[in-house]
Amino acid sequence: MSGEAATDVLVAGAGPTGLLLAAELCRRQVDCQVIDSLEAPRHWDRATVVHPRSLEVFEAMGIVDRFLAAGVRQRAVRLHSDGDVLGEMDLGTCGSAYGFNLGLSEEVTESLLTDHLHAQGGAVCRGRRLVGLEHRPDAVVATIEHDGERRELAAGWLVGCDGLHSCTRELSGVAFEGHDIPEPWAVFDVTLDGWPDAFDVTFAYLDETPVILTALPGRRWRVYLRPSSPTTDLVHDAGRVIDRYRAGVTLVDVTNPTLFHCHTKLADRYRSGRVLLAGDAAHVCSPAQGHGMNSGLQDAFNLAWKLAVVCAGAAGPGLLDSYEAERRPVGLSITRSGDIAEQLERFADPADRAARDAGLRSAFADPGSRYHEVVAEAELDISYAGSPIVAGDGHEQLAAGERLPDTVPVQMRDGRARRLRQLIRGAGHTLFVLVGGSGPGDRVVGLVDELGEIVAESPLLDAVVVLSAGAGLPASMGRLEPSIAAELSIDDVTVLAARPDGHIGLRFDGVRIEPLRQYLRLLRA
């Protein structure tokens, strides 16, 4: 066995989760190594849909335009059964600037993230498999096998992004609880010759053989289905259902027909000492709702900033406990909702399916219920309000733990139009000072000066951004329309500490400083 090297963070697994995590760590100047057991990236992978919340993440990373150029926008999801439309989710109503899903095969997502990792100075060491793990108080020592030889690598932290059969999880003794989904899924890519309908809609047919069509670039489709038997002709199964709704359409140029089994499982903890789990190593669910890959990307984005400040010594290791506190409930939610989707698809009795269809029609006819489904599809319903590292005044608008709204317009002093989320800066928190039309301008200037001094002292903070609905405030960097300020219930002065992942870590009202000092002590503890 060869000698021992050292790194701050070892990332096991170079799928989308591991690549995003490593790129964000490298961007924050964290020494990071990435290993993957595969000798080369997969030429094709079955995950497809990138949800609006993940597109917001890519925007924050500065790479969303590359994804938008590579993928195809899906503005809606339309559900059918028994020859009729049950309802439609219009993603334009989800509350994100990205009011659509993006159709893009997973290997393209991996390629774009790999390019971004390289641009940050990182790389993937391939053909390397984690085979042993020793926990120490100040490090983990990983045994890595490559070309029949083994070497040890000491790392301050190890993050397992190595999938369903995670060696990291198994070597750490973390239980992976849940169940197998008994009936297999199948997938293939195809051109639908004679397709007369929209190309920017995902079509779900909840017939006896369920079929889901998701759009891909080049006017191709990825077809997911529940085959009628393990040996059935997959194209025939899907074609029979499609023909019921769009007669005369033929399936041509079929590629990558694959049968696969799925699981509903969740790690009983996301952290074991200096080992953390993310993505499929931490949670796997039904593919019916497309939450698997997206939740992994968001795991990585949540973890990266926390791990970076711990590695820099700006916060203690206890900060990493908030990763599990915030992200494991999301894993639990997607596994549960995936099981519900599986149950809804598997009704064989006509009476049961008719009752299901009636319930879905009713749900989609109700505006409140339909909006709930849209926001859940977009993955914008995630709140960290119960997290141990959020604090401050409760409020119906802009509450601590909630996602900073994406569509709030801001007019900057130089005339540029921006959205509030676009003003989050750098790798730390951004302090927003929001001043209503009747806010005390003279006292705000003093507040901003004090906040600036705290920012200069704290590696957890990046910038102060002052936005005013009134006129003549010298410190203001931009203007909120009075109607927007009223909609957000900004009357006097509200201060928000927006985390790098786009969630509000702290909210307090009034011209005061102590809540921010208390919040920083909370993060550092």
Examine the domain organization and report whether 171 and 24 are in the same domain.
yes
Which percentage of the chain shows pLDDT scores above 90? 87
Burial (CB count <10 Å: 0-12, 13-18, 19+), residue 520: buried
Instruction: Kindly report the CATH number assigned to the domain that includes residue 208.
Output: 3.30.70
201-248 pLDDT, tens per residue? 999 999 999 999 999 999 999 999 999 888 899 999 999 999 999 999
Average pLDDT over residues 404-421: 92
Q: Does some domain include residue 63? A: no
Show which of 228, 260, 292 is a domain's final residue: 260
Show which of 215, 239, 260 is a domain's final residue: 260
Examine the domain organization and report whether 152 and 288 are in the same domain.
yes
**In contact, 224 and 214? CB cutoff 8 Å:** yes
The pLDDT score that the predictor gives to residue 51 is 97
**In contact, 300 and 279? CB cutoff 8 Å:** yes
The pLDDT score that the predictor gives to residue 92 is 97
| Widest CA span in the chain | 76
Given a cut of 90, whether residue 72 has pLDDT beyond it is yes
The pLDDT score that the predictor gives to residue 346 is 84
Examine the domain organization and report whether 489 and 429 are in the same domain.
yes
Domain count, the chain: 3
SS (H, E, C) 252-284: EEEEEEEEECCEEEEECCCEECCEEECHHHCEE
Instruction: Kindly report the CATH number assigned to the domain that includes residue 12.
Output: 3.50.50.60
* Cβ count near 235 (within 10 Å): 17
- Mean pLDDT computed over every residue of the chain: 94
The pLDDT score that the predictor gives to residue 93 is 97
Examine the domain organization and report whether 163 and 22 are in the same domain.
yes
Q: Does some domain include residue 169? A: yes
Given a cut of 70, whether residue 4 has pLDDT beyond it is no
Show which of 260, 276, 291 is a domain's final residue: 260
The pLDDT score that the predictor gives to residue 3 is 55
What residues have CB less than 8 Å from 44, skipping those under 6 apart?
Answer: 105, 107, 255, 256
The pLDDT score that the predictor gives to residue 209 is 93
Examine the domain organization and report whether 479 and 496 are in the same domain.
yes
Given a cut of 80, whether residue 394 has pLDDT beyond it is no
Provide the CB-side half-sphere exposure for 194 (13 A, CA). 11
Examine the domain organization and report whether 132 and 7 are in the same domain.
yes
Least confidently predicted of 226-230, 234-238, 438-442, 473-477: 438-442
Torsion of CA 234, 237, 243, 244, to 10 degrees: -150
* SS3 category, 490: coil
Examine the domain organization and report whether 128 and 213 are in the same domain.
no
Least confidently predicted of 155-159, 280-284, 388-392, 486-490: 486-490
Examine the domain organization and report whether 334 and 415 are in the same domain.
no
**In contact, 296 and 50? CB cutoff 8 Å:** no
Expressed as residue numbers, the domain containing 397 is 391-524
147-173 pLDDT, tens per residue? 999 999 999 999 999 999 999 999 999
Examine the domain organization and report whether 109 and 219 are in the same domain.
no
Given a cut of 70, whether residue 286 has pLDDT beyond it is yes
Examine the domain organization and report whether 445 and 400 are in the same domain.
yes
Residue 256: pLDDT band (50, 70, 90) is: very high
Examine the domain organization and report whether 317 and 444 are in the same domain.
no
SS (H, E, C) 9-47: EEEECCCHHHHHHHHHHHHCCCCEEEEECCCCCCCCCCC
